[in-house]
Amino acid sequence: MNKPLRRIAIFCGLLVLTLLIRDNWLQYVKADSLKEDQNNRRVTIARYATPRGDIIVGGTAVTGSTQTNNSGLNDLKYKRTYKNGPMWAPVTGYASQAFGANQLESIEDGILTGNDDRLFFRNTLDMLTGKKLQGGNVVTTLNAAAQKAAYDGLKNVGGKGAAVALDPATGKILALASYPSYDPSSFAGNSDKDAEAWKKLQKKYNPDDPMLNRALREVYPPGSTFKVVTAAAALENGLYTSADQPTNSPLPWVMPGTVTELKNEGNIPCKNATMREALRVSCNTVFGKIGADLGNDKMLAEAKKFGFDSEHFTPVRSAASVFSDDMNKSQTALSSIGQYNTAATPLQMAMVAAAVANDGKLMKPYMVDELQTSNLDPIEKTRPQELSRPLSTQNAQILQSMMETVVEKGTGTRAQIPGVTVGGKTGTAQHGVANSKNPYAWFISFAKLKDGSSPVAVAVVVEDEHANRDDISGGGLAAPIARNVMKAVIGNRT
């Protein structure tokens, strides 16, 4: 009877061995993915176990933390608070006990909670000295005055829209506003009140979709502002080498392969106009024909150099702007004046203005300047990074002077700032079936100081459902907002 007994002993050993192997699989191999699973409540508990680190703008925190009522069943100790929530929401995103986190609050969660691996050494030290775990801070590149100018400007106009300002030389994001916005404080907790506030903000219940980050995640037809890209393509491909040579532009112009005339807005002098003049009065025929002459491939290549057709991570992801790659000549012509399939995020158009202002060098846009420990020691600093060179220095300067003419005596006069050279381009993009919806008013611009440096480039887009359709034009609605943002950045540097 002993032989089977020995075998049973082995069998029982194998049962235990199987359990040991399974446990190693579970607690070693799969441990991290289980631990970091967003559905794992522990992730949320850890996120609010200590006062969360802050998101900082210009030395001041725009976020905070308060202790929640922890007497009952609430297992989350702290709650996020926001200062000027609606204004900063497109930058911070939200961190809600009940509804998770997004944007910076989610991307830099490890730093803000203090659980990031880069804080390991400090945490170990703190543990030894008996200090409680504290979250680190995220220092942004934003400029509070510019952000306020952008948000207030959009709010005063009262329509849906967004504004983005960049530092052309570095790619720092200076302003990132979206309207209508939301207050992330309103649903930061997990009470019924928070749930109610959250529900009201959802697109299903609120057609204005206030939680959409229009500056990064919404694409709009860029309209005439795209003509800057088309002009850049013409210069770069040698189609025209100067802003002041007459272009080969018949009027009326029938798009190739069709019997349709491309129309201009009103009776403007576009026949064989120079590019400077065509940009000043915004000739559809001149830039449409440039697009058709260059063809889809060359236009696409230039658009891609400006950042079209790819997502950008600031580190918050922005949607990819669109310039299509399989168009015939007439479609390319329409796309080259910012219609047809062409669509761009406000960030993308700000990148276009910034690249021109920075003498043709496009810098990668970013909004996190530095990550800090809780006692302000730097952990990581973002270095400016070149993304591409859509223009040669010479061509960039030609384009700058063309855009300056637009503001000086063209459609963008309302963006003028005394003592500062401003270049810009207006745009009025039609949309909806048979252009039935209200058009979008665009304005992109840059400011140049006396020393020739350019501290800011801006893109503003506004859709105003309430306004009279005729009133909407980039020059009328969007340009003053852009001007105020630029003024806020320049401050007293003039």
Sign of CA dihedral 110, 175, 358, 478: positive
As measured in angstroms, the least distance from the Cβ of 122 to other proteins is 20
40 binds other proteins (CB under 8 A): yes
124 binds other proteins (CB under 8 A): no
131 binds other proteins (CB under 8 A): no
12 binds other proteins (CB under 8 A): yes
34 binds other proteins (CB under 8 A): yes
From first CA to last CA, the distance across the chain in angstroms is: 101
31 binds other proteins (CB under 8 A): yes
As measured in angstroms, the least distance from the Cβ of 78 to other proteins is 16
- Alpha helix locations (H) across 256-375? 275-281, 284-305, 329-336, 346-357
Instruction: Assign residue 22 a region (left: φ > 0; alpha: ψ between -120 and 50; beta: otherwise).
Output: alpha
127 binds other proteins (CB under 8 A): no
Structure tokens at 416: 């003028």
Quote the CA–CA distance of 187 and 96 in Å, as a whole number. Answer: 6
As measured in angstroms, the least distance from the Cβ of 201 to other proteins is 21
Query: Cβ closer to other proteins: 12 or 254?
Result: 12
Instruction: Assign residue 419 a region (left: φ > 0; alpha: ψ between -120 and 50; beta: otherwise).
Output: left
In terms of Cα–Cα distance, which of 293, 287, 304, 295 is closest to 327?
A: 295
SS3 345: coil
SS3 303: helix
Cβ distance 422 to 479 under 8 Å?
A: no
Tell me the site size for other proteins, rule CB under 8 A: 38
Quote the CA–CA distance of 57 and 30 in Å, as a whole number. Answer: 39
Among 58, 61, 75, 271, binds other proteins (CB under 8 A): 75
Query: Which amino acid, one-letter code, is at 37?
Result: D
9 binds other proteins (CB under 8 A): yes
Catalytic residue status for 224: yes
Structure tokens at 216: 């990064």
What are the backbone dihedrals phi and psi of residue 165, each rounded to the nearest 5 degrees, phi first?
-125, 135
Secondary structure element (H or E) that encloses residue 427, with its range: strand 421-429
Among 32, 117, 377, 451, binds other proteins (CB under 8 A): 32
**Residues listed for the chain:** 494
As measured in angstroms, the least distance from the Cβ of 116 to other proteins is 17
Query: Cβ closer to other proteins: 5 or 433?
Result: 5
Query: Cβ closer to other proteins: 71 or 129?
Result: 71
> What torsion do the CA atoms of 270, 275, 276, 279 make, to the nearest 10 degrees?
70
242 binds other proteins (CB under 8 A): no
Q: Candidates 31-39, 105-113, 116-124, 467-475 — which segment interacts with other proteins by CB under 8 A?
A: 31-39
Query: Cβ closer to other proteins: 191 or 237?
Result: 191
Per-residue contact track with other proteins, 300 to 319, x per CB under 8 A?
--------------------
DSSP 446-478: EEE-TTS---EEEEEEEE-SSS-GGG--IIIII
Query: Cβ closer to other proteins: 9 or 125?
Result: 9
125 binds other proteins (CB under 8 A): no
2 binds other proteins (CB under 8 A): yes
Query: Cβ closer to other proteins: 28 or 205?
Result: 28
5 binds other proteins (CB under 8 A): yes
For 412, half-sphere exposure in the C-beta direction (CA atoms, 13 angstrom radius) is 37
Q: Which of the residues 181, 224, 249, 282 is marked catalytic?
A: 224
As measured in angstroms, the least distance from the Cβ of 127 to other proteins is 12
- Binding to other proteins, residues 334-373 (CB under 8 A): none
Query: Cβ closer to other proteins: 39 or 436?
Result: 39
69 binds other proteins (CB under 8 A): no
Q: Candidates 37-45, 154-162, 169-177, 390-398 — which segment interacts with other proteins by CB under 8 A?
A: 37-45
In terms of Cα–Cα distance, which of 263, 264, 287, 265 is closest to 274?
A: 287
As measured in angstroms, the least distance from the Cβ of 129 to other proteins is 17
Query: Cβ closer to other proteins: 28 or 492?
Result: 28
Q: How many C-beta neighbours within 10 Å does residue 48 have?
A: 24
Among 59, 60, 69, 73, binds other proteins (CB under 8 A): 73
199 binds other proteins (CB under 8 A): no
Quote the CA–CA distance of 284 and 427 in Å, as a whole number. Answer: 11
Q: Bridge partners of 61?
A: 56
204 binds other proteins (CB under 8 A): no
Q: Which whole-number Å values give the CA distances from 131 to 78, 111, 125, 127, 128, in the listed order?
A: 18, 17, 9, 6, 8
Q: Candidates 26-34, 232-240, 329-337, 437-445 — which segment interacts with other proteins by CB under 8 A?
A: 26-34
> What torsion do the CA atoms of 278, 280, 281, 283 make, to the nearest 10 degrees?
30
Q: What does DSSP assign to residue 411?
A: T
Report the catalytic residues: 224
Which residues of the chain form contacts with other proteins (CB under 8 A)? 1-9, 11-13, 15-16, 18-20, 22-24, 26-28, 30-35, 37, 39-42, 45, 72-73, 75
